[in-house]
Amino acid sequence: MKIVADLHIHTVASGHAYSTILENVTAAAEKGLEMIAITDHGPDMPGGPHAYHFGNLKAVPAELFGVRILKGVEANVIDLEGNLDLPVDRLSSLEIVLAGLHTVCSPNGSVAENTQMMVNAMKNPWVDAIVHPGNPEFLVDAETIVKAAVEYDVALEINNSSLKVSRVGSRPYCENIAALAKQYGAKIILGTDSHFALAIGDFSQAIEVLEKYKISPDLVINTSVENVLHHLNRRSNRKSSVN
């Protein structure tokens, strides 16, 4: 399976990543990628950027070295209601919004509470994908999550870093989500969750999961730039405020 876009990439602005935008784009071009998304953590992450950072991403070119650059965020889910750490005016100005549960930002409750928190985040009209939903630190009812992803037209990430260097123990949970995504027809994205430029474009572990469960490329949105843009453009029918 050929993946042309890496939609989960961090820069030094995240506070615990170690490459610049320019270094990331250069690495992506060398890997033959057609698109990347710059998705630094939201401001509630220790060391993360101020909200103003996301408003000024317009200073970054739309394309460099033949690589399309999406300006986005990996927003932190901050409460059981699924609220994020950026306001609507910031979220609506970005080209891609990822949302994730993180130990230092999100309350960790029961399986039912974690599941509802993640589903509530999907209801946010600006959220395009839920990242690392197979994180064992936040156990969820995977079937409920996948069904909600279909209902709210939100993609679920198979996170290569979770399977390789972070969030130890994620594989069985990621595999379960992949199998359920195939069963219910949920959209999938692959992300490297790169915190250093050399990791960009390495989807090896995530692709292994897709191949194990014979996931069709049709379900994976970053198999083409057109698929990515089609998914993101569904926002045109969304309300400008969170329900």
∠ CA 202-49-167, rounded to 5°? 40
Q: Report which DSSP code applies to 235.
A: G
Q: How far apart are CA 119 and CA 117, in angstroms?
A: 6
Find, among 110, 113, 157, the residue nearest to 135 by Cα.
157
Q: What is the pLDDT of residue 172?
A: 96
Find, among 55, 25, 49, 54, the residue nearest to 37 by Cα.
25
CATH 3.30.750.24 fits 5-235, yes or no: no
- Tokens 């949970």: give the residue: 173
Tens of pLDDT, residue by residue, the chain (243 residues): 999 999 999 999 999 999 999 999 999 999 999 999 999 999 999 999 999 999 999 999 999 999 999 999 999 999 999 999 999 999 999 999 999 999 899 999 999 999 999 999 999 999 999 999 999 999 999 999 999 999 999 999 999 999 988 778 899 999 999 999 999 999 999 999 999 999 999 999 999 999 999 999 999 999 999 999 999 999 765 544 333
Q: What is the pLDDT of residue 237?
A: 56
- Tokens 């692959």: give the residue: 190
Single pTM value for the model: 0.94
Q: How far apart are CA 102 and CA 8, in angstroms?
A: 15
Tell me the helices (H) and strands (E) count for the chain, helix number first. Answer: 8, 8
Domain borders along the chain are 5-235
Q: Report which DSSP code applies to 220.
A: B
